[in-house]
Structure 1
Amino acid sequence: MSNIQQNQYPKVSVATQQGAVLIVVLLFLVLIILAGVIAVRQSTTDLRLATSDQINALLLQSADNANQSIEQSMNGSSDAEIYNDMISRSGPFGYLMLDTNSINHEYVFCFRPRGRFFDINKASIMTPTGTVVSGSGSGYCDTTKPGDYVSARNASMTQVNVSLSPPNKNTELFSSYTIGQDSGEISSQAFMFDIYSTAVLPAYADTKVDDEDCFKKTSKGYEVTNSEDTIGGCMAKAGVPSTVLYEQANVENQSLRTKCVDFAKGTGKLCILPSS
């Protein structure tokens, strides 16, 4: 007598098999879609980072170009026309040095490197209240004027704000005077200037906030309580990519300097007096 036990398994229909395959395929499709979305997001992020780096490099180059041009004009030949314009009574440095009422003023001009980077007839002198001194021209950059852009591509523009550095209690007494010269002469004094070069890309957004032109804002952040009242803060609020490059420059008449050497070493003014 046979003791074989037969087990019967439930039969799987063809329709059920097709349903399971469909679920597996759908799962694979979902995974493929997720991988695609992640790849697209990653590539978009990389593109944004690359674009941001390009913008930052362009703005930094535009602002630094303005500072270098100013340095070269002041350190170059005193016979050059641009040198005379910069230190004349109507120029940025000459005005702030020679006019006793200009201590809190800002000298503003749009940097135009395609020609003469500084035009003495296109400059504004701004008071702490934001008004323009009567007689000064229009020095603020204007996005509607192609000549105000750094290059013919009309991509970036740079505005320069020059002002006297505020007094500092830690500054050494009489450090602003040339040794061996008459302190009553203006040419014997050294002056410290704050130079703010603001480079922007106006193509990204309007440079105005509530009908107020950001270019006409002050560059001196220590004089305002709200950062949006500065040219850089206003540009950030307007959504305009911008870079503000700050430089402090010491302007003095080097030709009147008396050479100073150590005692018993060469000729010239003695820095160290003998002990006896």
Structure 2
Amino acid sequence: MPTSMPNHCHTKLAKPPVVLYRPNQQGAALIVVLLFLVLIMLAGVMAVRRSSTDLKTATADQINTLLLQSSDSANQKLENMLNGSPSSQEYKDVMSVSGVFGHFLLNPDNQGNEFIYCYNPRTRKYLTSNATIYASTGGTWSGLNNGICDYNSPAGYTSARHTVMTQMSVSIPVGSNDDEVFSNVVIGKEVENRSSKKFKFNIRATSVLPAFNPPKDSSNTSCLTKSSVPIADGKIPLLTCLHDASTPTKMLYEQADVENNSEGIKCITYGRGSLDTVCQLS
């Protein structure tokens, strides 16, 4: 007997249609990312520029300190020599007729000159033999021109590092109507006592750093050959030349009163008729 097989119906379910949604933000994410990249780049550039500015500021401050210390050292060396013991050799050198102060004190005809020497802390004598002396009448006094610092020579620098050189200028200011009456007379001395006088000196210590820019003018002449005494318009030729050459510079200006004070010695002991041994020639 034939058996009947059940009939199986196979129904195929239709797949739902796929709907594609196109986003409304066409490239918005890319624009946002690019904006962030631009901001990051700007922040980096600002940080680099600020670091560069800070570095330049720190370098300028270090240069200024270095030049200031060198100029101050030169002034202090000259002060110590002058204020030292009159019996010391350094004092005798600067106050002698060939010394930096004696050149003016002991010869009235030299009071309009400018005494220039290259400062070296290892040098103990600042005499006319190693100086440049500009005469008030023009040119050099007695042909002396040995005091200009040479930035091409190691001997012109203040130390073995060959970084800073300092040039000193000593002169007597030109008198004016505003000067105090009898200001050049030492207190306690008669006016006619020519061996006892007080002078006011202008002392200018100029330090330069030739490693950054050579101190020379357009004609390739060293600026250090220029005078440190102000001219008619108040400008200082040396500083003007150094400024034009963009050479790091520091000038310290100081005024000092120096007295050439003679003292009398009692030689005869009155009432005894004998000569004091202090006054006898050896």
> 1:240: which partner in 2?
247
How many residues are aligned here? Answer: 244
1:28 alignment partner in structure 2: 36
Q: Does 1:231 align with 2:238?
A: yes
Q: CA deviation at 1:117?
A: 6.3
Indicate yes or no: 2:116 matched with 1:108: yes
Matching of residue 12 in structure 1 with residue 12 in structure 2: no
Partner of 2:227: 218
1:261 maps to what in 2? Answer: none
- 1:85·1:120 contact (CA, 8 Å) conserved in 2? no
Deviation at 1:112, TM superposition (A): 0.3
- For 2:22 and 2:261, the matched residues in 1 are separated by 100
Change (3 A) 1:117 1:232: farther
Letter in 1 for 2:87: D
Unaligned runs of 5+ in 1: 1-9, 258-276
Alpha-carbon offset, residue 134 of structure 1: 2.5
Give 1:129 shift.
6.7
Structure 1 residue 255, shift from structure 2 partner: 6.4
1:78 matches 2:83: no
Distance 2:137 2:65 in 1: 33
- 1:162-202: CA deviation from partner (whole Å, max 9, x where unpaired): 00022132222222212332433433110000001101101
Verify the 8 A CA contact 1:110 1:140 in the aligned structure 2: yes
Q: Which residue of 2 aligns with 1:168?
A: 176
Contact kept, 8 Å, 2:157 with 2:165, in 1: the verdict is yes
Displacement, 1:11? 4.1
Percent of paired sites with the same residue: 44
Match of 1:251 among 251, 255, 258: 258
Alignment deviations for residues 92-114 of structure 1 (CA, whole Å, 9 cap, x no partner): 21111222322321000000003
* Alignment-mate amino acid for residue 12 of structure 1: R
- Taking a change above 3 Å as real, the CA distance of residues 137 and 186 of structure 1, as seen in their structure-2 partners, is farther
Shift of 1:77: 1.1
Residue 79 of structure 1: CA displacement? 1.8
Q: Compare CA radii of gyration and give the structure with the larger one.
A: 2
Q: Hey, what's the Cα distance between the residues in 1 that align with 2:194 and 2:143?
A: 24
Supply the distance in 2 between the matched residues of 1:177 and 1:184 (Cα, whole angstroms): 9
Q: Relative to 1, partners in 2 of residues 1:119 and 1:174: Cα closer, same or farther, differing over 3 Å?
A: closer
Letter in 1 for 2:66: L
Which residue, 207, 210, 213 being the options, matches 1:199? 207
* Matches of 2:128 and 2:142, distance apart in 1: 15
- Does the aligned pair in 1 maintain the 2:96–2:102 contact within 8 Å? yes
Distance 1:110 1:194, change over 3 A: same
Q: What is the RMSD of the two structures over their aligned residues, measured on CA atoms?
A: 2.3
Aligned with 1:99 (options 80, 83, 107): 107
For the 8 Å contact 1:113–1:150, the answer to whether it is kept is yes
Q: Deviations over 1:133-170 (max 9, x none)?
A: 23424101111221221111111010000000221322
- Whole-Å separation in 2 of the counterparts to 1:139 and 1:165: 21
Query: Residue 67 of structure 2 contacts residue 250 of structure 2 at CA under 8 Å; is this kept in 1?
Result: yes
Q: Pick the structure with more helix per residue.
A: 1
Name the structure 1 match of 2:144: 136
Q: Contact conserved, 1:130 with 1:218, CA < 8 A, in 2?
A: no
TM-score with structure 1 setting the length: 0.81
